[in-house]
Amino acid sequence: MTNKSIETRAKWFIEEEIERQLTGLERGIINRDQAIGSLNTIFNIASGIEDAQYMQMICRLIGHIKSNNHYFQLKKLYLKKYFDSMQIAEEKEII
């Protein structure tokens, strides 16, 4: 169990770091392997605070990065909560 202030700071850090990694990947500053490695580190932080929602979202991001060679508008998808579990559940209901 973690302290609330530590958990809040960790969530802020996770969101900022994900955005930074996706921006770097879109712009070509980092390559795919570096982005996946950074997201794995962020996943470990999310598992440390036991936040299943972030863990699932990071796994979906990693899967998307591994399966695609084009990373255009990846950050935009993230900011629109495309990789969020609730969004995916809603899309499955529509189909």
Span 25-73, pLDDT tens digits: 999 999 999 999 999 999 999 999 998 989 998 998 998 889 888 777 7
Confidence of residue 76 (pLDDT cuts 50, 70, 90): confident
Listed by start position, the domains of the chain span 4-94
Number of alpha helices (DSSP H) and beta strands (DSSP E) in the chain: 5, 0
pLDDT at 43: 96
Can you list the pairs that 30-34 forms with residues at least 24 positions away whose Cβ atoms lie under 8 Å? 32/65, 32/66, 32/71
**Whether residue 87 has pLDDT greater than 60:** no
> Which long-range contacts (C-beta less than 8 Å, at least 24 apart) are formed by 64-69?
65/25, 65/32, 65/35, 65/36, 65/39, 66/32, 66/36
Q: What is the pLDDT of residue 94?
A: 52
Residue 78 burial (CB count, 10 A): 21
